[in-house]
């Protein structure tokens, strides 16, 4: 899907602001950000909205994104939609656009010229039938390697830049007393490891044939078989507690210097901070092996269901302007740990991990690549996660068999 981006005026939704400044309609904002840090970040938008005359009604749904999305769909189907709702970039938001239940934001985006300020992959994955249907507020980087500074120092090693280098160094890490790689047992953890392994093994062109074109022949080709073989080698370097481990416990292995590294998204940085670990002193971050120069992303977005109340419609416009404002995005992401969706919203107060993503987005936007949820439907994403978990746990499954099943799954999502 291609989205045409018009380059006009630099003002940020001035017309929307002019029409919304003098009212205080309630706007219910349904979201799944319930932790203390998430709520603090979301309050950046809530406070700005209130300061400009809006009345924010927060509906935070516990249980994660799937539970919140199900609640939103039920509300829409029942005729009582929230005024705004958190979602994820990708096919699932496009499905709602196809159903005609989301307000088009194309005119507002054109007025603010902010489609030229976000990576092309987002403009594409947040559009249906040439209509923009959601506001992106962040970019979450997936292909990060989080590592224990002590582990690599004790082993006399530098963090690996390729998987072959890591495999060659693994014995030294074990001899120094460390689990080479921390890995948990949930599907999403395998998913975030494998997209990094895949990109680091096959390169951008093959990766995009799979993630953008859903090409079955490519998905079972020899480079992908090689990626599954690398995943098999990694499974032999994890510890026996891996199968039942939650993500926070996986990160703790690195944070407490029991494992050398973990491959996961930028959200795990919060766990290191929670454990009172200091970046570049206790732990480090780098692109996952073989992925330097690329940024695999997911994105949190907010969509606005179609409503009939004129006051709520005006409140929706105001919230759009608040969420896309570069200063608000900078403030939100400084707390959230991700980077702004707007490429002109980056501040100078970025840590070393954020700067990795920003350097890619600013210098090579075409190297911002889709993660699972951006590229595939939730059903296909879940099937891939199940396949990866099964492959990790079943040593008798060959890489060729896994690649063949992978091809069948991803080709079903046209």
Closest CA to 200 of 360, 356, 361, 369: 369
Sign of CA pseudo-dihedral 254, 260, 264, 265: positive
Phi, psi of 278 (to 5 degrees): -105, 125
Task: Say which residue the tokens 């507002």 belong to.
Answer: 108
* Cα(314)–Cα(312) distance, integer angstroms: 5
Are the beta carbons of 268 and 146 closer than 8 angstroms?
yes
What distance separates the 2 farthest-apart alpha carbons in the chain? 68
User: For residue 348, what pLDDT is reported?
Assistant: 76
Q: Burial letters for 291-316: b for 16+ Cβ neighbours within 10 Å, e otherwise?
A: beebbbbbbbbbbbbebeeeebbbbb
Output the six-digit token pair for 120: 């092309």
Let me know if 19 is exposed, middle or buried by CB neighbors in 10 A (0-12, 13-18, 19+). Answer: middle
The whole-model pTM stands at: 0.87
| Tens digits of pLDDT across the chain (414 residues) | 333 333 333 333 444 444 444 455 799 999 999 988 899 999 999 999 999 999 999 999 998 898 999 999 999 999 999 999 999 999 999 999 999 999 999 999 999 999 889 999 999 999 999 899 999 999 999 999 999 999 999 999 999 999 999 999 999 999 999 999 999 998 889 999 999 999 999 999 999 999 999 999 999 999 999 999 999 999 999 999 998 899 999 999 999 999 999 999 998 888 898 889 999 999 999 999 999 999 999 999 999 999 999 999 999 999 999 999 999 999 999 888 899 999 999 877 789 999 999 999 989 999 999 999 999 999 999 999 999 999 999 999 999 999 999 999 999 987
* Cα(254)–Cα(146) distance, integer angstroms: 8
All domains of the chain, ordered by start, with CATH?
Answer: 14-139+299-355 (3.40.190.10), 141-296+369-411 (3.40.190.10)
What three-state secondary structure class fits 280? coil
């Amino acid at each position: 899907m291609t989205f045409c981006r018009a380059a006009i005026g630099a003002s940020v939704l001035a017309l929307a602001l002019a029409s919304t400044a003098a009212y205080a309609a309630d706007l219910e904002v349904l979201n799944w950000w319930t932790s203390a840090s998430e709520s603090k970040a979301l309050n950046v938008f809530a406070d700005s909205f209130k300061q400009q005359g809006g009345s924010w009604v927060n509906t935070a749904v516990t249980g994660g994104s799937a539970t919140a999305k199900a609640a939103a769909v039920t509300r829409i189907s029942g005729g009582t939609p929230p005024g705004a709702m958190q979602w994820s970039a990708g096919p699932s938001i496009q499905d709602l656009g196809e159903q005609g239940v989301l307000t088009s934001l194309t005119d507002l985006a054109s007025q603010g010229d902010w489609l030229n300020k976000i990576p092309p992959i987002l403009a594409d994955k947040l559009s249906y039938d040439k209509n923009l249907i959601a506001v992106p507020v962040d970019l979450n980087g997936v292909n990060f390697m989080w590592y224990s500074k002590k582990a690599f120092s004790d082993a006399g090693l530098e963090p690996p830049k390729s998987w072959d280098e890591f495999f060659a160094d693994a014995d030294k890490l074990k001899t120094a007393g460390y689990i080479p790689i921390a890995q948990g047992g949930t599907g999403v953890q395998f998913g975030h490891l494998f997209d990094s392994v895949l990109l680091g093994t096959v390169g951008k062109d093959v990766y995009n044939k799979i993630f953008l074109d859903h090409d079955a022949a490519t998905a079972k080709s020899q480079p992908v078989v090689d990626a599954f073989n690398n995943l098999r080698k990694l499974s032999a370097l994890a510890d026996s507690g891996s199968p039942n481990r939650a993500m926070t416990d996986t990160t703790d292995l690195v944070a407490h210097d029991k494992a050398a590294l973990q491959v996961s998204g930028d959200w795990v940085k919060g766990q290191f901070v929670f454990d009172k670990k200091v970046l570049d002193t206790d732990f480090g971050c780098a692109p996952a092996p073989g992925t330097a120069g690329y940024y695999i992303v997911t994105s949190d977005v907010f969509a606005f269901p179609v409503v009939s109340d004129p006051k709520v419609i005006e409140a929706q416009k105001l919230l759009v302007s608040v969420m896309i404002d570069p200063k608000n995005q900078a403030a939100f992401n400084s707390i959230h740990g991700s980077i702004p969706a707007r490429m002109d919203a980056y501040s100078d107060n970025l840590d070393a991990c954020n700067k990795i993503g920003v350097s890619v987005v600013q210098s090579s936007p075409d190297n911002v690549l889709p993660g699972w949820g951006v590229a595939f439907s939730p059903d296909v994403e879940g099937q891939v996660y199940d396949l990866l978990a099964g492959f990790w746990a079943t040593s008798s499954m060959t890489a060729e068999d896994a690649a063949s099943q992978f091809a069948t799954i991803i080709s079903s999502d046209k």
